[in-house]
Structure 1
Amino acid sequence: MTETTPPTFPRAGFRRRFGSWIYDSLIVIAIFMLSGYICVALFVALDAAELIAITRSGFGIDWNASHIAYKIAFNSWCVAWVCIFFVYFWAKKGQTLGMRAWRLRVQNTDGSLISKMSAIKRLVPTLLGLGSLIVLIDRKNKLSLQDRLTNTEVVVLSLEANRGRL
């Protein structure tokens, strides 16, 4: 291997992907909760300023009695922040925090970082990790549904390569 040739790493199997998914799901829950708290605070502040009218029960919002538009806005806000988390880390570093713990990196098949558009395209088939179930069937290529749709791959980094990404 010469200085100009980037190192090649093996593709990740299902177990590593699943381990990374577990780690990232904990982070996603925290992001969802934090963004939810911020959204509720915004709703309460807008209600106090009489710009919107939410139904309250004590300090909290009574979601069952509130207009459906507030539920849609709340969930859209929270999901948007989760999506921003994945797109940012995939496009900027090639790794989420869970992927880093399991020494995984998402990249283009040539070894370069994926673009923000590719990261956005990966989001839907990545939903709940279901796209990665294909790796169980396709053990030879180890490509998930989101890998196939975006012409990307998830590779296992060496200890040195993962450490060098700090």
Structure 2
Amino acid sequence: MTEISLPNAGFFRRLAALFYDGLMVIAIEMIAAGLLIAILQALEAMGWLAISPYVDISDLLTNHPLWSPVFSLYLLSVWAYFFVFFWTRAGQTLGMRAWKLQVRQLDNSPITVRQALIRFTTSLFGLANIMALVDPKKRGWHDWLAKTQVVVLPKAR
């Protein structure tokens, strides 16, 4: 059986999927932050966590010299996990699924965790996709570095 070659995704389709995924990531980040704030609030109420001289938990998480970077790293980890999880499981985030896109290795096999992390860390918040406007293979900077491609899946019949 011969495998059908699928077209590579262009910039605007990638951008649309990124917009959808951005909305999902914002919602997930809000839940993750809210969960942490609720846990810390409970610990403070039980007397197990002292937050003075900070006004509240939010002030502690944004201004404390230790808690602030840990909180930022936590949120970054949640964000990275979202993309790595979906890219390595199905090759698609929810936004990519809506726009019929899939990320694959150059040999059409699923991408690895390492490739997903390379794509995530070099995506420059989606700006790496601009390269798809000028690259003959329509690959973003992060695809080039991770040795991946984003293809357009055929419509379901």
Q: TM-score, normalised by structure 2?
A: 0.90
Question: 2:148 maps to what in 1?
Answer: 152
Matched, 1:12 2:22: no
Query: CA offset at residue 60 of structure 1?
Result: 5.2
Q: Secondary structure at the match of 2:36?
A: helix
CA contact (8 A) 2:62 2:68 kept: no
Give the stretch that moved more between structures: 94-103 or 45-54.
45-54
Find 1:53's aligned residue among 38, 41, 50: 50
Cα displacement string for residues 42-81 of structure 1 (whole angstroms, at most 9, x for unaligned residues): 2222323444322454x75324885222222222212211
Question: 1:90 maps to what in 2?
Answer: 87
Find 1:124's aligned residue among 109, 121, 127: 121
Tell me how far apart the structure 2 counterparts of residues 32 and 135 of structure 1 sit (CA, whole Å). 28
Tell me how far apart the structure 2 counterparts of residues 68 and 6 of structure 1 sit (CA, whole Å). 54
Matched, 1:68 2:42: no
Query: CA offset at residue 118 of structure 1?
Result: 0.9
CA contact (8 A) 1:125 1:131 kept: yes
Question: 1:25 maps to what in 2?
Answer: 22
Tell me how far apart the structure 1 counterparts of residues 150 and 97 of structure 2 sit (CA, whole Å). 12
Cα 1:79–1:65 change in 2 (3 A) is closer
Question: 2:138 maps to what in 1?
Answer: 142
Query: CA offset at residue 31 of structure 1?
Result: 0.9
Cα 1:110–1:125 change in 2 (3 A) is same
Q: Secondary structure at the match of 2:122?
A: helix
Tell me how far apart the structure 1 counterparts of residues 60 and 100 of structure 2 sit (CA, whole Å). 41
CA contact (8 A) 1:8 1:111 kept: no
Matched, 1:38 2:52: no
Matched, 1:103 2:100: yes
Cα 1:147–1:66 change in 2 (3 A) is closer
Gaps of 5+ in 2: none
Gaps of 5+ in 1: none
Cα displacement string for residues 3-31 of structure 1 (whole angstroms, at most 9, x for unaligned residues): xx332201001010000011000001001
Alignment size in residue pairs: 156
Cα 1:47–1:119 change in 2 (3 A) is same
Tell me how far apart the structure 2 counterparts of residues 116 and 91 of structure 1 sit (CA, whole Å). 6
**Partner letter of residue 126 of structure 2?**
G
Q: TM-score, normalised by structure 1?
A: 0.85
Identity of aligned residues (%): 38
